[in-house]
A and B are shown apart, each in its own frame.
Chain A
C-alpha cells in the first residue's frame, strides 16, 4: 500500500496565520468534560474501597479490610478464574457467531438477507433479564421445556441440559450478545474492498479459508475493537451470573459486587474493591486497543476511489448459510419469544401442555396496563434512549477525530478517559453517580438528568469504538482535499467527516438507543418516583414473582422495539449506505 510509506502528518493547523483560536479551546473543553464524567465516579469508587461499612452505630472509617477480603481470601483465585472463564467464553461465542453471520449477510448471496438481518438484531432489544428468564423456562433441569421434550422422546429421566452451570451461563450470555458482534463486524465488512476477497478467491482459496485468512485479518482493527468490547461487556454482565450462577454458587465479580451491596450492612467498600480488580483487567484491554488503533493506517481500506460492494455467489452453499441463519434465529429469537408469549398468556406459569392450552388468557396484559406509572416509565425510557444516543454519537465523533487524526498532546489521555467508564460495572457506576450528586448540590439528584448523565457516561465508550472503527477506515486524503479546497476545520468536519462516518454513526446510534432502553444495573440505583424506566418495572415484577405479567410486558416491549429496529434498518439502508 503506497499510503503506508507516507510519513504521518499533522493535519491540524499550527500557530501562525489562519490558526483558529477555538481549536485548542475545544480540545480543552472536551478533555475537561470527559474527565468530569469518567473520573468522578472512579474517584468515588476508590474512595469507597478504603472505607468500612457505615452503620447506624458507627461512621465509615479508613480501612484496608476490603482489599484483604477481596484479594487475600481463599475465594480470590476462584472468583478470578470464574470471571475470566465466563467472560472469555461468552466473548468468544458471541464473536464467532457474530462474525460468521455478518460475513454471510454482507458478502454472500444467501436468500432472505434483509429479513435475517433484522431478526439477528432482535436479541439486542431483549433485556438481559427477559432473555435469561426465557432460557430458564427452556433449559432449567426441572421445568425446562427442552429437557421435558427430550425426556418424553427418549422415555428417560436424564437431565439433558442444565442452564444453571458455567457452560449454561456462557451459552445464554454469548448467545444474547452475539448480535453486538454482528453489528460491529457488519460495519467493518461494509467498509472493506471486496476485491481483496475476490483476489483470494482467484488464488484458489476456499470460502472458509478466505474468511479466515483474508477477511478477518483485514478487519483486524475492527476485530480487536469488537473482541475488546465483548470481553469487557461479559465481565460486566450482571443478569446472567445473578440469575443462573448465584443459585448454584458460581460467583463472578459482578455477582460478588451485587452480593456485597445487598448484604446488611451494605458492603460498598468491598464491592468497590472488587471493582478495582475489574478496573485493572479492563484497563489492560483499553491499553491494548489503543496500540492497535495506533497502527491502524496500515489497514485503511476505504479510499476515495469508491468501489462498489459486491457479494460472492456461493452456489449450493447458500442453503447451508441460510440454514445457519435459521437455526440461529430459532435459538435467539423464536424459542425465547415463544416461551415468553406462552407464559404471558397464562394465569400462573405452567409448562406447555394440552391441558394448559385451555387456560389461555389475556389477563396478564390487562394487569400490565393497569400497572402504576407504566406510562411514565415508557416515556422516560424513550426520552433517555434518544437523548443519550444522539449526544454520545455526536460528541464521540469529535473526540475520536481528535484521538485518531491529530498528533495533539493529550489525545491518548482523552481516549483513555472516554473509554474509562468501560471499567465500571453498571451497579458501581450507578452507586458512584448517586452518591456523587447527592453530595453536590446542583439539583440533579432525583431528576431524569442524573440518569442521562449515567447513560452518557456508561455508553460513551461504545460511541468511541464505533466512531474509531469507521474513522480508521476513511482515507486521510478525503479530509486533506477538503482543506486544499479552502474548507476550514469545522466545515471539513461537518461536510466531509460526519457524512463519511454515517454508517458507523447510525449503527452506533441504534445500538446505544437499544442498550439504553435495556439498561438496568445503573437505573435501579438512580430512579426515583416519577423517573422509572421500563427495565426497572420489569425488575420489580421479577422481584414480586409476577412472571406472567413480566412476560406480557416483555412481549410488548420486544414487539415495539422490533418495529423500531426495522424502521432504523430501513432508514439506514436508504440514507446511510451510499459509500459503504
Chain B
C-alpha cells in the first residue's frame, strides 16, 4: 500500500515569491489499485506525482510504500529517485533519441546494481515488448516510432524494471482521440492484469473516470474530494468538482424544507421547488447550488409520468446540436437555460414547448460555501 501523509511542497517562483504547490495532501492507495490525481493545470497533481517519484523534494510530510519509507521530513529520510524502483511514464515520454527500442527498454536493467545476464536482459525486454505489442519493432530507431508506439515504449521501459509502483504523468495527452481511447482500454487491461499499484495524473476527467479505482480531485494544491469514479461523478462534494468532472447544470436556490430521513430536501429555485439529494446536512434557508448532469435532464414531448420525488416542469427548445451518438438540447425554463443530453431520436424542433423531468436522486445540492472546503 502506498501511503502519502500531509505532503507540503513549495518552490520559489521568479521574483522570490514562494508558491505553495502542494498543501496537506494525504491519501492511501491499496495494492493493485489505480489511483488518479485529477485537476486542472497548476493544481499540484504533477508536483505530487514527482514528489512520490523523488524528482522533487517536498517541504514536509511522508511517503511510504508497503512500510518502506522513501520520504519523511520528520525522520529526515529522502531516498534518491534511482533507488526507489518506481517506474514512471513521462508526459513527453522522454524516449532517449540516441537509442533504439531495445536499448531504451534494456536501460533500466543494465544500470542495475545486480545487473542480470545478457540473455536474461534480452528475455525480459522481449517479454515486456510483447506485452505492449512492440516486439516486431525491437530494432527500430526510437525516433522513428509513431506517437502511440512511443507511448507504449515508455510504458515498456517503466514496466521492465518490475517496479513496486507505476507513475503515469498524463501519458495519453499527446495522442489523438481515437488512439487515446484505444490506449485507455489497453492501459486499464494491463494494469488490472499485472495488478500493479499505479498513480495516474491527468486533467482529462473521462480518462480518470474510465481507468481509476479511486480518484482524488485537486484544486490549488489541495485535494478537494476523494472517491470512486461513480461517487465523484454522481455525488460531487462541491461546485468545483461538479463543474470539473463532466459538464453539469447549476441551479441556484435556497433550502426550503430541511432533509428528511431519506437524504432528500426541498430547494426553492427559479424553476420552482425541487426535490434534491443532500450529501451533507443543510440548514433551512441556506443558499445552495443544485448540480444536474445534462444526461439526467430528461426531455419528453408529452407530459411524462411523475413518480414520487420527480421534478417536472415545461420549457421551450432554444437550440440543439447533433453530436452523432447523442443530441444536446438547450431548453429555456423561465429565465434559466438547461442543457440536456438526449437520445438522437428526439426530434422536437427549435421553438417548440417541451417537458422536462429531473429525478430527485440525480439532483445534488451543494452548499454555496463548500467550494473551497476540503474533503475529509
Question: Which residues of A are interface residues toward B (Cβ below 8 A)?
Answer: 2-3, 5-11, 13-19, 303-308, 475, 477-478, 480-489, 491-492, 495-496, 499-500, 502, 578-579
Contacts and interface: CB of A to CB of B under 8 A. Distances in A.
A481 B50 CA distance: 11
A293 to B, nearest CB: 14
Interface stretch (B30-38, B84-92, B222-230): B84-92
A14 B59 CA distance: 13
A5 B82 contact: no
Given A477-B90, A499-B98, A5 B77 contact: no
Nearest to A491: B111
Given A305-B93, A477-B94, A480-B94, 15 more contacts: A2-B91, A5-B41, A17-B80, A17-B83, A18-B83, A306-B97, A481-B96, A482-B111, A483-B82, A484-B88, A485-B108, A488-B111, A489-B82, A495-B111, A500-B97
A303 B154 CA distance: 14
Contact of B150 (A9, A305, A484, A579): A305
A19 B80 contact: yes
Given A485-B107, A486-B111, A487-B111, A14 B78 contact: yes
Contacts of B46: 6
Given A16-B77, A488-B111, A579 B143 contact: yes
B241 to A, nearest CB: 22
B161 to A, nearest CB: 6
A17 B71 CA distance: 10
A486 to B, nearest CB: 5
B94 A486 contact: no
A341 to B, nearest CB: 42
A7 B47 contact: yes
B81 interface: yes
A408 B77 CA distance: 20
A491 B143 CA distance: 22
A8 B82 CA distance: 19
Contacts of A9: 11, 50, 55-56
Nearest to B170: A2
A191 B78 CA distance: 35
B157 interface: yes
A495 B143 CA distance: 17
A264 B273 CA distance: 105
> What 9 pairs between A and B have smallest CB-CB spacing?
A306-B143, A485-B108, A18-B80, A579-B97, A16-B78, A481-B94, A304-B94, A477-B94, A13-B80
A550 B91 CA distance: 60
Nearest to A485: B108
Nearest to A303: B92
B235 interface: no
Nearest to B54: A483
Interface in B65-115: 76-88, 90-98, 107-108, 111-112
Nearest to A20: B80
B92 A304 contact: yes
Contacts of A486: 82-83, 85, 108, 111-112, 161
Interface in B222-265: none
Given A486-B111, A487-B107, A495-B107, A306 B95 contact: yes
29 contacts: A5-B41, A9-B11, A13-B80, A14-B78, A15-B78, A16-B76, A17-B77, A18-B80, A18-B82, A304-B93, A304-B94, A307-B143, A308-B144, A480-B81, A480-B90, A481-B88, A481-B154, A482-B107, A482-B111, A483-B80, A483-B82, A484-B81, A485-B108, A486-B82, A486-B112, A487-B111, A499-B98, A578-B98, A579-B143
Nearest to B100: A578
Interface string B107-150: 11001100000000000000000000000000001111001001
A557 B1 CA distance: 70
Contacts of A19: 78, 80
Contacts of B143: 306-308, 578-579
B82 to A, nearest CB: 5
Given A7-B21, A306-B143, A484 B87 contact: yes
A480 to B, nearest CB: 5
